[in-house]
Amino acid sequence: MSWVQESAFLFSAPSLQRLPLATLASVALAGLSAQPALALETRSYVMSSFWHAGYNQDGDCPDGLNLPIKEQYEKILADFGYGKEEIAELIAGFVEGEEGGWDQDKVGQLMTMRGRVNGRPVSAYSHPAAVKDSELISYNGKFAYGFDLDGKGQNDKSFVDPETQQVGIDHQLARVWGCTEGMRDKVNQGSATWLFFWTAAKEVAPAWTITISGEDLSNDGPITIKFGRALEPTRYNGDGSPRSSMTFRADPDPRVNNNIYPGQIREGVISITKPGPYYNVQEPLLAPRFSFKNFNTRLKIMPDGTLEGIIGGYQPIEEIYWTCSSNNYNCEIFFFYDIPGHYHLLKKHADADPDPVTGQNWSISAVYSLKAVPAFVVEMPKTDNQRVSAR
């Protein structure tokens, strides 16, 4: 039966024959408007690489790079009042490796407990504010990838995006990491530190998912963008390349299912038109949680169907500090060279979420490089407990 025949049948019903003419007219108009909606096209992806989006070039730290770990520890020991001969003896054991493990690692013990609370030694990594600021060098270059998160345009702290040439870019995390050797990077290469973290996490951490939907994803136009998480990690081939077109189950955890944004495709680039909050869960080595305010994206649809680009927003500095501090002393000597020093840099350059009493900002503009491959993402039914917690 066509919709015309259905309308004729309805109007012949005794109950409708008793209705006023205006009411019958409204029913008829409703029938005319009840045409099938256009089906939306949907594409899904899983993240295949992720790291800080840096833009470091030779000579972009005119005051030099932060000291390597050996020289940094010599400086810290001198600040504690050790003499040259004592420092030389301690550092010789540190460089050569102390026999007997941690019990004999004098430098490791001193550096780990170099924090002071009421004159008593405390962990420098658990209490970075209790450690003297080493006054590490900040990146002061002109360029950094990112977005004008505050909408205020160019100022004395903002950058120019090297790809789009947009001014007023907010990316203060670039200043924190830009002059430490292990963190210096370029957007498509990653730093030595982030490459290590990503290699360790990529085959065990549940994959982040990206789903876009719209009337025609092959052309410019409005879309809806959703970021979520799968129950499985991204799959990789034997040569280490990400495997496309695999099926993933969407994690029904309500914490990771609210990252839905209006967006657009313009000239093959996916962006969010109304930035908002973002929350996702990561692997503990990288970050137990990952959250932003004013979250935005710039993701290119590549000729092979993959995505490449950046995401960013204002991120709590405690989340970033976890990446530095979770592995404590070993992470310091191999990657960050002075973990509490970087905490002080994070506080210095934080540019959002001011404390109402002290004025200290507790979030920082941060931008990350992301690549993703096509995938099939299957929604999982929610349990009763998940339905309740999502309300």
Amino acid 333: pLDDT:
87
73/154 same-domain check: no
Same domain for 327 and 353?
A: yes
Which residue, 267, 352, 219, 370, is CA-closest to 309? 370
Q: What mean pLDDT do residues 139-148 have?
A: 96
Residue 135 lies in a domain: no
Task: Give the per-residue pLDDT at 37.
Answer: 55
User: Does 114 score more than 90 pLDDT?
Assistant: yes
Q: How far is CA 47 from CA 51, 127, 375, 383, in A?
A: 11, 34, 10, 26
Shared domain for 105 and 195, answered yes or no, is no
Considering the domain boundaries, does residue 361 fall inside one?
yes
Give me the percent of the chain exceeding a pLDDT of 90. 70
* 285 part of a folded domain: yes
Indicate the pLDDT class of residue 22, thresholds 50, 70 and 90.
very low
The verdict on 176 and 125 lying in the same domain is no
| pLDDT classification of 380: cutoffs 50, 70, 90 | confident
Q: Is the dihedral of CA 65, 149, 285, 212 positive or negative?
A: negative
pLDDT given for residue 2 in this prediction: 38
Confidence of residue 248 (pLDDT cuts 50, 70, 90): very high
User: What average pLDDT does range 326-349 have in this prediction?
Assistant: 90
H/E stretch holding 368 = strand 361-378
For position 356, what pLDDT does the model report?
97
The pLDDT value given to residue 100:
57
- Domain membership of residue 246 (yes or no) is yes
Kindly state the percentage of the chain with pLDDT values over 70.
Answer: 85
Query: Which comes out higher in pLDDT, residue 195 or 382?
Result: 195
| Average per-residue pLDDT for the chain | 87
Mean pLDDT for the stretch of residues 162-167: 96
Burial of 127 (0-12, 13-18, 19+ CB in 10 A): middle
Within this chain, do residues 59 and 117 fall inside the same structural domain, yes or no? no
Structure tokens at 241: 């390349």
Report the sign of the C-alpha dihedral through residues 45, 50, 54, 57, in that order.
negative
**295 vs 4, which has greater pLDDT?**
295
Lowest-confidence region among 22-31, 247-256, 352-361: 22-31
Residue ranges of E strands in 244-345: 246-249, 259-266, 269-272, 276-281, 289-301, 307-316
Is 55 found in the same domain as 18?
A: no
Range of the domain at 85: 69-130
Residue 136 lies in a domain: no
pLDDT in tens, 177-209: 999 998 898 767 788 888 888 888 899 999 999
Q: Quick one: pLDDT at residue 144?
A: 96
Query: Does the pLDDT value for residue 35 go beyond 60?
Result: no
User: What is residue 10's predicted lDDT score, i.e. its pLDDT?
Assistant: 35
Instruction: Give yes or no: residues 192 and 94 share one domain.
Output: no
Question: Would you say 390 and 382 are in contact if contact means Cβ atoms under 8 Å apart?
Answer: yes
The structure tokens listed for 84 are 């040259």
Read off the pLDDT of each residue in 297-316 and give the average, rounded to a whole number: 97
User: What pLDDT is stored for residue 294 in this prediction?
Assistant: 98
Q: Which of 11-15, 62-66, 203-207 has the lowest mean pLDDT?
A: 11-15
In this prediction the pTM is 0.85
**Residue 176 falls within a domain, yes or no?**
yes
**Is the domain of 126 the same as that of 152?**
no
Query: Same structural domain for residues 49 and 75?
Result: no
Indicate if the pLDDT at residue 32 is higher than 60.
Answer: no
Please check whether residue 256 lies inside any domain of the structure.
Answer: yes
Amino acid at 271: S
Residues 169 and 212 in one domain: yes
Beta-carbon neighbour count of residue 277 at 10 Å? 14
Tell whether 166 and 246 lie within a shared domain.
yes
pLDDT band at 381 (very low <50, low <70, confident <90, very high): confident
Assess whether 293 and 188 both reside in one domain.
yes
Q: Is the pLDDT higher at 95 or at 157?
A: 157
Averaged pLDDT for residues 312-339? 88
Pick the residue with more confidence: 231 or 26?
231
Check residue 310 and give its pLDDT: 97
Q: What is the mean pLDDT of residues 285-308?
A: 93
| H helices present in the chain, as ranges | 3-11, 14-17, 21-33, 69-79, 84-96, 106-112, 173-177, 192-201, 317-325, 328-331, 339-349, 384-390
**Mean predicted confidence (pLDDT) in 42-64:** 94
pLDDT at residue 153 tops 60: yes
Q: Give the number of domains in the chain.
A: 3
Domain boundary among the residues 130, 149, 168 is at 130
- Position 86 scores a pLDDT of 95
CA R_g for the chain:
27
Give domain status of residue 91, yes or no: yes
